[in-house]
Amino acid sequence: MRKGELTLMSSGTKTNKSLIVLMINMFIAMLGIGLVIPILPKLLEDFNAGGTAAGYLIAASGLTQFLFSPLAGEWSDKYGRKRMIVLGLVLFTLSQFLFAIAGVMWLLYVSRFLGGIGAAMMVPAMMAYVADSTTEDTRGKGLGMLGAAMSLGFVIGPGIGGFLADLGLRAPFYISALVAAIATVLSFFMLKETLSEERLQAARQSQQKRESIVKQLITSVKAPYFIYLILVFTLTFGLVNFEAVFSLFVDNKYGYTTKEISVMITVGALVGVVVQGALINKLLHRFGENKLINVSFLISAIMMVLMLLSGNFWYNMVLILIFFTFTSIMRPAINTVLSKMAGSEEQGFVMGMNNAYMSLGNIFGPALAGILFDVHVNLPYSFGAIVLVLSLVLSLSWGKRITGRNKQKLEAISNEG
């Protein structure tokens, strides 16, 4: 067994301590991102701020995560996975503490920027740590468990934020900072570096330069799967557009409490995760990727419009359950198409671009939603529905184009025969 190898036994009787520490770290990072959502309406009242500030605050961490992820990935090769993980946790701890004590608006932004940099340091390094220290047989399970911790943290973050707010509006962030600090100490003492000193030295001395993210984005425009990357962007845009101002929307329009907001988001997102984990393979085999993508865009857009019509709690709970269910179906369906179109040689590039376009959606979605909210409370969901409908039109037209090409190929083969 190599240094640091994770002993993920097929029987499930033993899981390496390092993987448990990594899962805790991932859970804490994703948890901290979602804590702020249900608290925003009351928090922003203290700063006399509105939707624009809310959107920018949520987009801020996405921006720095997008900008720093390529650099952080390179640093993890040169200076080690453990250092990047610990550094990321330190920045995340500082981010949560700053958010808790902030008395001026600019400090909230500094906090979110630092949180995004911390996530950029942690997430690629943790994935690389698992890849370094597992065999081909156990790698899928290790990455799957890390992904589950990521999803769980993101899903229950708003719920925990809402319930901890009963202790005080800043309490969730003090507690999050304390937990992150403990995770930092645990990681420092319990994680072992997976890369040898020789490999680190070789990486530092390497003259090979990676393409900038801008060049990679330009290259992706020319790819045959570019349309599906656009759909990744619009899906993320629509989803984050929905989540970013949801608490402000239902607070201003329907007078929902912080706890009601937390329950709705948490239950809706949990149902989405369950559907994604338990049913997605059956649905893909039964209906195919493109049909699922098209139906999901249509239903998600309809749910956004219906949100504008009534303030009844259970009515909106049902709408949210349906919305999260279909957006959860849509993402793996698009990812599957991308993977099939990429072929074996471009898998790494395509998944990197997938993450880049998703990050762009995480930046522009909340920023624009916040601006539109300050113009009119209904505008973010009206505009979000339009974006999803246009995505449906794009998907349908592209699907017809692909079908036409395939039909021509079959006819040409038939004529040759």
* Residues 217 and 94 reside in one and the same domain: no
- pLDDT tens digit sequence for 54-75: 888 888 888 888 888 777 777 8
Q: Which among 195, 228, 249 is the end of a domain?
A: 195
| Token pair in block for residue 266 | 């948490």
pTM: 0.73
Residues 295-325, buried b or exposed e (16+ Cβ, 10 A)? bbbbbbbbbbbbbeeeeeeeebeebbbbbbb
- pLDDT tens digit sequence for 243-297: 778 888 988 899 888 888 888 888 887 887 777 767 777 888 888 888 888 998 9
Q: Is residue 125 part of a domain?
A: yes
Q: Is residue 6 part of a domain?
A: no
Most confident of 35-49, 131-145, 219-233: 219-233
For residue 356, what is the domain's CATH number? 1.20.1250.20
* Residues 22 and 88 reside in one and the same domain: yes
* Residues 373 and 409 reside in one and the same domain: yes
CB 51, CB 373: distance < 8 Å? yes
Q: Is residue 134 part of a domain?
A: yes
Range of the domain at 323: 213-416
CB 324, CB 269: distance < 8 Å? yes
Q: Is residue 11 part of a domain?
A: no
* Residues 40 and 180 reside in one and the same domain: yes
CB 209, CB 322: distance < 8 Å? no
* Residues 228 and 348 reside in one and the same domain: yes
* Residues 151 and 34 reside in one and the same domain: yes
* Residues 141 and 75 reside in one and the same domain: yes
pLDDT value, residue 313: 92
Q: Which among 164, 195, 226 is the end of a domain?
A: 195
Q: Is residue 131 part of a domain?
A: yes
User: Is the pLDDT assigned to residue 107 strictly greater than 90?
Assistant: yes
* Residues 78 and 173 reside in one and the same domain: yes
* Residues 266 and 180 reside in one and the same domain: no
Q: Is residue 77 part of a domain?
A: yes
* Residues 316 and 408 reside in one and the same domain: yes
CA distance 321 to 257: 19
Pick the closest to residue 227 from 273, 165, 290, 141 (CA basis). Answer: 290
pLDDT value, residue 241: 81
For helices 313-342 and 289-306, angle between their N-to-C axes, nearest 10 degrees: 150
Q: Is residue 65 part of a domain?
A: yes
* Residues 283 and 329 reside in one and the same domain: yes
Report the domain count for the chain: 2
Rounded to whole angstroms, what are the CA distances from 252 to 65, 238, 373, 374, 400?
Answer: 30, 21, 10, 11, 43
Residues 6+ apart with CB under 8 A from 244: 37, 54, 55, 58, 59, 365, 366, 369, 370, 380
* Residues 180 and 231 reside in one and the same domain: no
Most confident of 73-87, 134-148, 325-339, 366-380: 366-380
Q: Which among 166, 195, 224 is the end of a domain?
A: 195
Q: Is residue 205 part of a domain?
A: no
- pLDDT tens digit sequence for 222-249: 888 888 889 989 988 888 888 778 888 9
